[in-house]
Amino acid sequence: MAFVYTLRVAILGSGPSGFYAAESLLSQTSVPVQVDMFERLPTPFGLVRGGVAPDHQKIKTVSLIYEKTAQRTGFRFFGNVEFGKDVFLPELKKIYGALIFAVGAKSDRKMGIPGENLNGSVPATDFVGWYNGHPDYSHLKFDLSVERVAVVGNGNVAMDVTRILAVDPRHLEQTDIAGYALESLKKSRVKEILLLGRRGIAQAAFTNPEIRELCELPGSDLIVDPNEVQLDPLSQEFLSSGQASNAAKNNVQILQNHSKLQLKNQSKKIVVRFLVSPTEIFGQDGNVSAVQLEKNRLYKEKDGSLRPKGTGQYETLPVGLALRSVGYKGLPLQDVPYDEKSGTIPNLSGRVISPETKSPLTGLYAVGWAKRGPSGVIGTNKPDSHATVEKVLEDARTNLLSVSPPSNADDILSLLQNKKVRVLNYADWKKIDSLEIQNGKSKGKSREKFTTIPEMLDALSHC
């Protein structure tokens, strides 16, 4: 069909999945589009800014790609605007033909064990947000005067927090780590980090580069007991079956080789453990004092997957801080369907569906972790978002979505102005960006982040 008017699309969330969706929409020519991106923080880029570890500066350069998308004709950024507080679904549906939810998976999954709510037992994502200066977490305090920390899980986030705790803080001085976090890490008395995985070495969630980083980390020894990396019969069968990825095979090889090396006797130790699950966290005066671990063995499910099962063998280790990284899930949004079990927005190939009828809800779509759950890396979001956008365009071509005349472009501005919402556009973000880089330069850092929203707004007021 020939479009006379424009398809207006609202993207809720400005992380990688949101920007990849925007790029996919704005780079096609079959349907005229206007993309408005909404972000509850004044700053864009989601986990690229608030989740990627400060010693992984190269990964953060992916934001340069998003910068190009933001400069495209037809793109607008609405920062400091929160869905469910400043704008609501019925209001947006009157203005936009399509809404794409790119809200991620903010909440963590709990272990469900006694003592999990003691002081010092916290989600690893809280620690990540804290050292990255994320406004939601910058007020938190972490007691790094303890000597031993347990990190539960061995995925990307677990590896990041382990590395930040273990690395010599001098190697973080030129990064964009929050200033208060750097000072706290310099005073840290942590000597040992336990990295705990409930399955075996062949099922570890970390990638080859991540485990190599720990093997070579300045200021810390990675301790791998040869007994911990011996393969049980089921894992041996798995690795030789052709089902195992090259990454899994390499992980095994890397750690088995490392277990044979002599330690360098550095000031901190990372102790890798497999086939153990925390069953209880003990406390003293309300604070974490120890963790009880149960030894696991693997068994095969009917579908062929290998799962851990407790053996009834326990050990208790003193720890002063327990960071859990055992999975993440999205939070429900007002008036938007939510799957409690998966922590996602129920959808079919990106089209949001009614939980009752399983039928698509016209004009509502999901991308990223809100769509598929917390899996993959930053690049995984590009094809994922593109696939959802194809559904948006398909629905537009078949007249399922409403289109709007050019005059409607200002409706959202009027709505937010009447509500007295202080909206930040992309030029405002670039001012914040420039100030952070400038502030960092004076301290020899790549940037010094503003870590609260009032700080950001106040800084803009003086520009």
79 Cβ neighbours under 8 A, 6+ residues apart: 14, 39, 41, 42, 43, 44, 423, 424, 425, 426, 428, 429
268 Cβ neighbours under 8 A, 6+ residues apart: 165, 166, 190, 191, 192, 193, 219, 220, 221
Domain boundaries 7-106+329-424, corresponding CATH code? 3.40.50.720
What is the pLDDT at residue 241? 87
Domain boundaries 110-326, corresponding CATH code? 3.50.50.60
Does the pLDDT of residue 54 top 50, yes or no? yes
Q: Work out the angle at residue 447's Cα, subtended by the Cα atoms of residues 162 and 23, and round it to the nearest 5 degrees.
A: 90
The predicted-structure confidence for 226-274, as pLDDT tens digits, reads as follows 999 999 999 999 898 888 899 999 999 999 999 999 988 899 999 999 9
Do 282 and 316 form a contact (C-beta atoms < 8 A)?
yes
By C-alpha distance, which of 415, 457, 318 is closest to 38?
415
What is the pLDDT at residue 4? 55
Q: Which residues pair with 348 in a beta bridge?
A: 351
Q: Which residues pair with 6 in a beta bridge?
A: 404
Give the mean model confidence (pLDDT) for residues 435-460. 96
* DSSP β-ladder status, 33-39 and 75-79: parallel
In this prediction the pTM is 0.94
| The token pair that represents 185 in the structure block | 């890490």
Instruction: Enumerate the CATH 3.40.50.720 domain ranges in the chain, comma separated.
Output: 7-106+329-424
The predicted-structure confidence for 352-369, as pLDDT tens digits, reads as follows 999 999 999 999 999 999
Strand stretches in 258-417, DSSP E: 268-273, 276-284, 287-300, 306-318, 321-324, 328-329, 347-348, 351-353, 360-366
Q: Residue 151, SS3? A: strand
What is the pLDDT at residue 221? 96
By C-alpha distance, which of 188, 255, 201 is closest to 231?
201
414 Cβ neighbours under 8 A, 6+ residues apart: none
Give the mean model confidence (pLDDT) for residues 68-90. 97
What is the pLDDT at residue 3? 56
254 Cβ neighbours under 8 A, 6+ residues apart: 208, 211, 212, 215
By C-alpha distance, which of 393, 369, 449, 457 is closest to 138?
449
| The token pair that represents 315 in the structure block | 């050990």
Do 287 and 217 form a contact (C-beta atoms < 8 A)?
no
**CB 241: neighbour CB atoms within 10 A?**
9
Instruction: Enumerate the CATH 3.50.50.60 domain ranges in the chain, comma separated.
Output: 110-326
Does the pLDDT of residue 1 top 50, yes or no? no
The predicted-structure confidence for 388-439, as pLDDT tens digits, reads as follows 999 999 999 999 998 776 667 789 999 999 999 999 999 999 999 999 999 9
Q: Which of 15-19, 282-286, 304-308, 387-391 has the least mean pLDDT?
A: 304-308
